[in-house]
Amino acid sequence: MTQATPKYRAIFISDVHLGSRGSQAEALCAFLKLNTSEHLYLVGDIIDGWRLKKKWYWPQAHTNAIRRILTAAKRGTDVTYIIGNHDEFLRAFMHFRLNFGDIHVKNRAVHLGEDGKRYLVVHGDMFDGMMRADRKWIMHLGDHAYNFLLWVNTNLNSVRRLFGLPYWSLSAALKKRTKRALNYIHNFEDHVAAYCRRKGYDGAICGHIHVAEMRDIDGITYMNDGDWVESCTALVEHHDGRWELLDCRPDSVRTSVPVVKTAPVGELELA
Q: Convert the pLDDT of each residue in 162-190 to its tens digit.
A: 777 676 666 666 565 554 555 677 889 99
Band (223; pLDDT cuts 50, 70, 90)? very high
What integer pLDDT is reported at residue 238 of this predicted model?
A: 97
In SS3 terms, 112-143 reads as ECCCCCEEEEECCHHHCHHHCCCCHHHHHHHH
Q: Sketch out the chain's domains with CATH numbers.
A: 8-263 (3.60.21.10)
- The alpha carbon of residue 162 and the mean position of all alpha carbons in its chain are separated, in whole angstroms, by 30
Q: In sequence order, which residues have a C-beta less than 8 Å from that of residue 166 and are 6 or more positions away?
A: 160, 253, 254, 255, 256
As a whole-number percent, the residues of the chain with pLDDT over 70 amount to 70
Q: What average pLDDT does range 234-247 have in this prediction?
A: 97
As a whole-number percent, the residues of the chain with pLDDT over 90 amount to 55
Band (254; pLDDT cuts 50, 70, 90)? very low
What integer pLDDT is reported at residue 147 of this predicted model?
A: 65
* Bigger pLDDT: 174 vs 59: 59
What integer pLDDT is reported at residue 269 of this predicted model?
A: 42
One-letter amino acid of 106: K
